[in-house]
Structure 1
Amino acid sequence: MGGVRVSGSGGGSALTQFTWGHSALDAEFATADDRTLRLVRLGPRQGPRQSRSRDTVGTEVALPLVELSALGHGSGWSGPRFTGTAFGTRLAYRSHRSGRSGTWEWLTVELHDRATGLTAFVELTSPTGLPVLRSRVRLRNEGTEPLVVQSVSSLLLGGLPSPDALDVHRARNDWLAECRWYTEPLRDTVADINVDAHQHDSRAALVLTGRGSWPTDGHLAMGALTERGSGRTWAWQIESPAGWRWDLGEHAHGTHLALNGPTDAEHQWRVRLAPGDEFTTVPAALALGSGLDDAMGALTSYRRAVRRPHPDHTALPVVFNDYMNTLMGDPTTEKLLPLIDAAAEAGAEYFCIDSGWYDDDTEGWWDSVGEWLPSPRRFPGGGIRAVLDRIRERGMVPGLWLEPEVVGVRSPVASQLPPDAFFQRDGVRLAEQGRHQLDLRHPAARAHLDKTVDRIVGDWGVGYLKLDYNIVVDPGTQTPEDLAPGVGLLGHAHAYLDWLSGVLDRHPGLVVENCASGGMRMDGATLAVSQLQSTSDQQDPLRFPPIAAAAPTAVPPEQGAVWAYPQPEYDDGLISFTLGGALLGRIHLSGHLNRMSEHQLGLVRDAVGTYKALRADLARAVPFWPLGLPGWTDEWLALGMRVPDGPSYVSVWRRGGEGEVRVPVGHLAGREVRTEILHPSASTSGSAVWDGDGLRVSLPSAPGVLLIRLAPSVGP
């Protein structure tokens, strides 16, 4: 199965038509009368006897592969939609080539504008067997004059169903309230103006953007469309570590989707291409599915295929972090030693000392960070290395929190590094909340961080770094080489990921958690390099479940760090509740375990043991949501994990309401299924009964949670 299928002309003046794809994805391309190439069909592979007419559209309905705006070359009309640009109608098809690289199929299409000499290379890839298309565009100025590009699409698709038939899904993503999905008809934004009467498409568009150095502050850099009735779904993500934009609008009685990185209008981004210069957009990925769960499952598998390989993705060790609802940035030897012993007794395999370990400043550490040296006051005697040794003695890997990109205004590092190693605007070094921002494009900034990490990891033997980032810089930095601040921001963001890749190259066993005040940097580009992703800083155990339940829309379960912070003052039900909510993610233990009774610590050990028993399945499972994507105030929530050729798992939370709920499990409907409650271990905590199409779940008190294993009988 699989392989590239190409037919049709490779050039010349005649109209061109060709197909490309593999067993799970089929794409058809055709040139229009103006010689621009259009994607006229994107869908599942069809057999030779199946009609292609349902998904294939005419070139007048499809859109050019690339839309691009540049100074002096605008659009053919005014409005927020990113379609109809002058370059979009002029970038004519020149050639294409395709092949396979490992488990990926690839296609590169070359487009050219004779007027300016600009060439666009549309680089399409797809993991063999997955219904996911990844796209980016590489521009090269082959003309004789410079060109200032203001925006360029990463992926553009027309010919989707009418806005009348579509619901759009997007996710608000705020500090302490991440991954809050909501759904509305596309017509709520793109009104029906009677296109036929006006002989013109609506200028309206549903536009979403992410800005600044927190790319997922406000919304996740993704979205989805579902066709009512059929359930067909298109889900996407923009893999930008800085700004991004997507829009949906009406075109030729259908719908278009445009996915972009940063733009001039929204992000103060523009780039000057001198003759011979190149620029490549951030990638964007589009997943197809028969429903929202199906498309999100395809995105999950795609994220695994595109990320940097690392043993952590299959080992899934249990991490204890001393911060959340525990030491809260105030670690000392005296406080840590009993916590280390208790965490080891509970079954933790990594122990991370969070913020504050460097704090030896009576004026406060927030605006003095940057040297990343341990505090003698906090770690008397043997210093922090004695504490790290204690972690190793108890059989765990030591970890430390670090905020590498910031330097406090009172830090000696602020004057030791050259001024242009920091973010600046109009020659002025930027300061946000008493901190300067390093520019990782500068060799002195990178050398400073390399020295820091090589000391912590290489000399001290730390095997886990929680890399945090707690300021936001918008729109970016502007050196004399940067045409606009957004260019500087995107350049730094890519340099940061390149630096992080270099760290992992030098220290291949190191595990890195990505954090930015929780989930403010939960983007696909960063997720592809780091091993774990913080999902939230939420401290209320009753408000974490909707975050934990929705996090797999953005992060594979084995990468999504979910806090579990049981406390000695909690009753057994609340201890089980906060632990149970993390068992289908990447459990991050915290809490004053050293103050717990043996009975309470036994509850923690039971939950950790349950997690260890199922974590191998999580590393290959795809998510589903039996009760739909969770609402922030929902009283009942559910998250499922479906293991290919294996069992399924369902976590069900009750935060209020009646004591029983029915949980449909569509992929097991009509089969005999054996159910087993894995958590909590006490059988009196609730019940789950299979009724042939789903579960009847009973939880007698709120808050309550059950983790249920579903083992289907052998058969269809």
Structure 2
Amino acid sequence: MKELCVSTTNSKLKFEILNNKKIALIQVNINDLSNLTDAQKEHLVITELQVTGDNFHHKGLSFVNTSPGANLTYLTHEVDQLTNGKLLKITSQDPKKRLVVTNYYQLFDQTAVIRSWVTVENISNENIGLEYISSFAITGLNQGSDPLANYATDNLLYTPHNNWQAEAQWHKQTLKEAGLDYQTDRIDDQQNSSKRINITNNSSWSCAEFSPSGILTNTVTNQTAIWQIENNGAWHYELTDSSNGELLSLRLSGPEELDNHWWKNLAPGESFTTATAAFCEVSGNYERALQEITKYRRLIRNKNQDNQKLPVIFNDYMNGLMGDPTEATERPLIDAAAKTGCDYFVIDCGWYSDGYWWDSVGDWLPSKKRFPNGIESTIQYIRDKGLTPGLWLEIEVIGIHSPLANQLPDSWFFKRHGKRIIDCDRYHLDFNNPDVRSFADKIMKRLIEEYGVGYIKMDYNITTGIGTEQNSDSFGDGLLNHNRAYLKWLDHIFEEYPELVIENCGSGGMRHDYAMLQRHSIQSMTDQTDYVRNGNIAAVGSSVVTPEQCAIWSYPLQNGDSEEVIFNMINAMLVRIHQSGLLNHIDDKRLNLVVEGIRVYKTYREKIPTLLPIWPDGLGHLDDEWYSFGLANNSELYLAVWHGVGSEVTHELSLEQYGTIKEVTQIYPAPISDLNAHFKSYENTIKFTFNQSKMARLYHISLGN
């Protein structure tokens, strides 16, 4: 046997080249499987690859023991030194010498998270059908030093559920509770189970039902694994058993045939590269793992001023103009946004249509009825007030009642079974078509160079279904081609306009994957219109998106009170402020609370990209009565505490795990005029007394050793 080891300051991978030249992944960071038997190590494959027509040695539907994936043999490897880590490349081939497979593992100096992807090349003289390729495969997950540990009962699986206006709702359960109830006392005739815990996303909302991530904590070994898949469309991951039920396996991938309608015909000389995935195992709980992947997310995204400086965005939509902008209604809002200290002003949907705007979108020309002096006049007014102007755009769709709908050829659109796909009164453009990309270029050029906008809110309110048949080997292949073409188009736009900020929005947070967020500096996290529930989402948004990319609405109501304004502001003050609401219609006392909140935010906002998220109350859910979220380093902690709806007026939080409390200061609202909220600190615990529902406060806590 031959060992292959690569490591950085924070991460480590170790492989064994077995006597039969199969490659076994025997260590990821703290999880060392070196003591497994030779027979068990046969199952520690690094790639699952299923080819049409090859024998599939599995039981049920899982992607374990694929063919030729289970039989790939080692050829070569190399390690490249990068500026911030290392890149390991392992090359293998299938027994029939038709395919060459290269596994890429990127290790970073600053984090324990490891990035992984796989390239498959057809070196034969025949077409080969690809049904499944893992982006990352590991067996022996969270195994620890106890070979008899019961993975079914000892592991807690955290799954991030999404719904429109209910994003990042983490549910936890043991693997046994999730259905993987197979491990026994190792009876001699035990085989692999037929059960898999599979989390799958179809269509083009990458986060339609789940975020493309997961967490697994072993409560006995105190190990936690965390992962994410980086694709802006369909993806799949599954947990199942291997080695006759002895070991736990995780498989991460982009789209595949069984679950996502993806099949790829690989012609001689062609190659295919999977979606990237990220994975790590650390000592500690879910919070420790989320902090580690926060570091990773910061490392892989494009560097820009927007998510370093964290300008405050005003957007006219939420609990404001709600898609009915006009020159007359915008100007007083622009004045109010400037007065409160905002940095951007965004005109949201409706600016291009005289009336109902939903099903007529497509040409993106401003309505003369709404803006009789031309939208350029309003945009210039925004600039004159010292704000950067922005416009809402949904560039991937054409409304069925748009004049363009009947002028453009079918080849521009998603089609299945010979028909254009219609979703919610819109057709979906296919960015794999170069004419579509050219069309989109012209729209962006007009908005940026003629109208003078510096910010685009790029929304995405419909989905494609399983894909398109045009220029593809399968429906899923057509969707993947579009997804990748759209990403390349985004890269082109950012290269052309490096100062432009493009907000990623998909009916809120329905596309917050890190294929998109490597490129976008800011993510609209939710369209939640209830400010109390918005707080619940704000408190967990940084579990799926870095805090400095996580935009949360703050929208004071016309007929609210001071506590409602404070609650609204605190929802956004540890992430990105998406200010909205009809600020020109609220009284001076409540408007001054908005001004104060933004002013306080500006005193620490540039620290946010350096701090790590914490959840002293755990990962909360919609309608929790008490919940909290914070950002911390070794010396200080910013903490938001919310009391939603309920009768419990007191709440205690232990902060012992973060350090010794030296001083607690309420920083918003100013405590000098606040008689309704009280706190008392003792022995690294803070007792909060909020004597009514729907209250929130923001604190700064100094920490010592």
TM-score by length of 1: 0.94
Alignment of 1:137-148 (within 5 A): 137-148=118-129
CA distance in 2, matches of 1:55, 1:304: 35
Partner SS, residue 54 of structure 2: coil
User: CA contact under 8 A between 2:68 and 2:95: conserved in structure 1?
Assistant: no
Which amino acid in 1 is paired with 2:400?
V
Per-residue Cα deviation, 1:507-539 (whole angstroms, up to 9, x for no partner)? 111111111111111111111111111111110
Aligned match of 1:262 in 255, 258, 272? Answer: 255
When residues 57 and 334 of structure 1 are mapped into structure 2, their CA distance, relative to the original with a 3 A threshold, is farther
1:602-633: per-residue Cα shift (whole Å, max 9, x none)?
A: 00001111111111111111111101100222
| Distance apart, 1:307 and its partner CA | 0.7
Equivalent position of 1:523 in the other structure:
513
Residue 413 of structure 1: how far off its partner (Å): 2.2
CA distance in 2: counterparts of 1:56 and 1:385, whole angstroms: 69
Give, in whole Å, the separation in 1 of the partners of 2:33 and 2:488. Answer: 45
Residue of structure 2 equivalent to 1:60: 40
Structure 1 residue 287 displacement after superposition: 2.8
The residue identity in structure 1 corresponding to 2:637 is S
Q: What is the root-mean-square deviation of aligned Cα atoms in Å?
A: 1.6
The answer for the alignment partner of 2:235 in structure 1 is 244
Are residues 1:457 and 2:448 paired?
yes
Q: 1:475 to 1:639 in 2, by over 3 A?
A: same
- What's the CA shift for 1:694? 2.9
Q: CA offset at residue 706 of structure 1?
A: 1.2
Partners of 1:550 and 1:657 lie apart in 2 by: 23
SS in 2 for 1:170: strand
* Aligned 8 A contact 2:653 2:686 in 1: yes
The equivalent position to 1:359 in structure 2, one of 327, 348, 353, is: 353
- Residue 18 of structure 2 is matched in structure 1 by 32
Q: Which residue type is aligned with residue 334 of structure 1?
A: A
Q: Residue 245 and residue 400 in structure 1: after superposition, are their counterparts in 2 closer, same or farther (change >3 A)?
A: same
Quickly say closer, same or farther: Cα 1:57–1:25, change in 2 above 3 A: farther
Q: Which moved more, 1:184-193 or 1:341-350?
A: 184-193
Cα separation, 2, equivalents of 1:549 and 1:224: 18
| Structure 2 residue aligned with 1:180 | 169
Is 1:628 aligned with 2:618? yes
Indicate the SS of the match to 2:104: strand
2:84 aligned with 1:103 = yes
Which AA in structure 1 matches 2:631?
Answer: M
Cα distance in 1, alignment partners of residues 486 and 611 from structure 2: 30
C-alpha distance in 1 between matches for 2:16 and 2:341:
58
Question: Which residue of the other structure, out of 652, 677, 680, is the alignment partner of 2:669?
Answer: 680
Contact kept, 8 Å, 1:618 with 1:641, in 2: the verdict is yes
Give, in angstroms, the shift of residue 33 of structure 1.
Answer: 4.1
**Of the candidates 61, 66, 71, which is equivalent to residue 80 of structure 1?**
61
Query: C-alpha separation between the residues in 2 aligned to 1:53 and 1:266?
Result: 31
1:230 shift after superposition:
4.0
Query: What secondary structure sits across from 2:71 in the alignment?
Result: coil
> TM-score with structure 2 length normalisation?
0.95
User: Which position in structure 2 is the counterpart of 1:484?
Assistant: 474
Q: 2-side partners of 1:225 and 1:164: how far apart?
A: 12
Is 1:654 paired with 2:643? yes
SS in 2 for 1:542: helix
The residue type paired with residue 65 of structure 2 is: G
Amino acid aligned to 2:213: M
Matched-pair contact (CA < 8 Å) for 1:41–1:55? no
AA at the equivalent of 2:328:
E
2:483 is equivalent to residue 493 of structure 1: yes
Given that 2:47 and 2:70 are in contact with CA atoms closer than 8 Å, whether structure 1 keeps it comes out as: no
Moved more, 159-168 or 233-242: 159-168
Q: Is the 8 A contact 1:80 1:207 kept in 2?
A: no
Secondary structure of the structure 1 residue equivalent to 2:495: helix
When residues 55 and 596 of structure 1 are mapped into structure 2, their CA distance, relative to the original with a 3 A threshold, is farther
| Residues paired across the two proteins, number | 688
Q: Deviations over 1:557-613 (max 9, x none)?
A: 110010000123111111111111111111100011001211111000011111111
What pairs up with 1:17-416 in 2 under 5 angstroms?
A: 17-44=3-30, 60-61=40-41, 62-160=43-141, 161=143, 162-188=151-177, 189-192=179-182, 194=184, 195-252=186-243, 253-289=246-282, 290-361=284-355, 364-380=356-372, 382-416=373-407
- The 3-state SS of whatever aligns with 1:584 is coil
The Cα shift of 1:541 comes to: 0.8
Aligned to 1:10: none
Gaps of 5+ in 2: 144-150
Tell me if the contact between 1:42 and 1:55 (Cα under 8 Å) persists in the aligned partners: no
Partner of 2:591: 601
User: Relative to structure 2, which stretch is displaced further, 283-292 or 314-323?
Assistant: 283-292
Shift of 1:27: 1.2
Aligned AA for 1:163? Answer: A
Q: Which of the residues 569, 580, 583 maps onto 1:590?
A: 580
Deviations 1:161-201 (A, max 9, x none): 32231010001101011111010001121113535253312
Deviations 1:137-168 (A, max 9, x none): 00001112110001110001111232231010
State the shift of 1:132 in Å.
0.5
Quick one: which amino acid aligns to residue 325 of structure 2?
Answer: P
1:534-683 to 2 correspondences below 5 Å: 534-643=524-633, 645-655=634-644, 656-669=646-659, 671-681=660-670, 682-683=673-674
Whether the 8 Å CA contact 2:421–2:427 is kept in 1: the answer is yes
Shift of 1:544: 1.0
Please list the CA deviations of residues 673-712 of structure 1 after superposition, one character each: whole Å capped at 9, or x if unmatched: 2111111224323123332323222212111111111111
Distance 2:62 2:632 in 1: 38
SS of 2:168's equivalent?
A: strand
Is contact 1:559-1:585 (8 Å) kept? yes
Q: In structure 1, the residue corresponding to 2:382 is in which secondary structure?
A: helix
Report Cα offsets for 1:218-243 as digits up to 9, x if no partner.
11111010011443211110001111
Question: SS state of the match for residue 187, structure 2?
Answer: helix
Q: Which moved more, 1:169-178 or 1:15-24?
A: 15-24
Give the corresponding residue for 2:148: none
Query: Contact 2:616–2:653 at 8 Å: present in 1 too?
Result: yes
Query: Any residues of structure 2 matched to 1:417-496 within 5 Å, and which?
Result: 417-479=408-470, 481-496=471-486
Partner secondary structure for residue 351 of structure 2: coil
SS in structure 2 at match of 1:698: strand
Q: Which digits, 9 at most, give the CA deviation of each residue in 1:418-451, with x for residues without a partner?
A: 3211111233222222211111111110111100
**Are the equivalent residues in 1 in contact too, given 2:661–2:701 (CA < 8 A)?**
no
Cα distance in 2 for residues equivalent to 1:321 and 1:34: 61
What SS does the corresponding residue of 1:482 show, helix, strand or coil? Answer: coil
Distance 1:98 1:303 in 2: 23
Residues 43 and 55 in structure 1, CA contact (< 8 A), matched pair in contact too: no
Q: Residue 531 of structure 2 aligns to a residue in which SS?
A: coil
Counterpart of 1:372 in structure 2: which amino acid? W
- 1:512 maps to 502
1:4 match: none
Which residue does the alignment assign to 1:7? none
Q: Secondary structure at the match of 2:506?
A: coil
User: Shift of residue 66 of structure 1?
Assistant: 0.3
Change (3 A) 1:322 1:53: closer
Contact 1:32 1:38 in 2 (8 A): yes
- Residue of structure 1 equivalent to 2:147: none
In 1, the alpha carbon distance for the partners of 2:55 and 2:40 equals: 21
Q: In terms of mean alpha carbon deviation, does 271-280 or 162-171 score higher?
A: 162-171
Paired letter, 1:152: I
**Secondary structure of the corresponding residue to residue 162 of structure 2:** strand
1:53 shift after superposition: 6.7
**Equivalent AA in structure 2 for residue 440 of structure 1:** F
The CA distance in 2 between the partners of 1:56 and 1:336, in whole Å, is 67
> Residue 225 of structure 2 aligns to which amino acid in structure 1?
W
